[in-house]
Amino acid sequence: MDKAGAFLAQAKSDFSVFERLWELNADDVPACHALHHLQMATEKLAKAVRIYLDPDTSRKDTHVAFREIVHILKRRDVIRKLGYADEPERFKYFIEGRRSWFLEVERLCPSVGTDVAGGRTNGPNVEYPWLGRDIAESETWIVPAEHTFPLAQDLRSSEGAYFIVLLRRLLDRIPEALT
């Protein structure tokens, strides 16, 4: 197996765990656990895409990779190979409208986060508690398992379900879509 195939295989495994956790009752499994696997899967998927496109890439591995595949998804050849040739403009419109979701998924990673102070990430993430503010604006520690992630709510919508189907399709077809 080559490097891109290895990243893709692990991404599929991570995504499979995401799907299993996502199907469970939200009261039984906090969203942070499913979202953690989604973040890991999409990061590895994006890295696999990067390697498929440039096997000799000297670019440093990073947690910020998923947002970069938006422009690749809008290529006509990729749209066709992913099975969206009947509605390419609608597909592009959907992808463009979900651009912020690609970024939100990346921000679930603690090393990306949303607020950086003193070189340390201090914002919502799916792994570690962070220092935030409560309703009274007092400092308090926020626990991921008790936090309401807006992305989780978005993914429970019909557009979110379509986004999840798209991710599964990417995982299943990306090598062929890029060649």
Q: 7-11, 17-21, 65-69, 126-130: lowest mean pLDDT where? A: 65-69
**Per-residue pLDDT, 116:** 46
pLDDT (mean) for 115-139: 77
pLDDT (mean) for 157-178: 91
Q: Report which of residues 71 and 117 the model is more confident about.
A: 71
Q: Which residues does 110 contact at the CB level (< 8 Å), separation at least 6?
A: 121, 125, 126, 127, 128
Pairing of strands 116-117, 120-121: antiparallel
User: Rounded to an integer, what distance in angstroms lies between the CA atom of residue 80 and that of residue 109?
Assistant: 31
pLDDT (mean) for 114-133: 72
- Burial group, residue 104, by CB count within 10 angstroms (0-12, 13-18, 19+): buried
- Burial group, residue 56, by CB count within 10 angstroms (0-12, 13-18, 19+): exposed
Return mean pLDDT, the chain: 87
DSSP string, 46-73: HHHHHHHH-TT--PPP-S--GGGGHHHH
Q: Compute CA 64 distance to the chain's CA centroid, rounded to the nearest angstrom.
A: 10
Q: What is the pLDDT of residues 49-88, one digit of tens each?
A: 888 887 766 555 665 678 888 888 888 888 888 888 888 8
pLDDT (mean) for 134-148: 92
User: Rounded to an integer, what distance in angstroms lies between the CA atom of residue 15 and that of residue 86?
Assistant: 27
Q: Compute CA 82 distance to the chain's CA centroid, rounded to the nearest angstrom.
A: 18
User: Rounded to an integer, what distance in angstroms lies between the CA atom of residue 18 and that of residue 42?
Assistant: 11
The answer to whether 15 and 167 are in contact (CB under 8 A) is yes
The answer to whether 113 and 125 are in contact (CB under 8 A) is yes
Domain ranges of the chain: 3-112+150-177
Share of the chain above pLDDT 90, in %: 55
User: Rounded to an integer, what distance in angstroms lies between the CA atom of residue 164 and that of residue 86?
Assistant: 20
120, pLDDT greater than 60? no
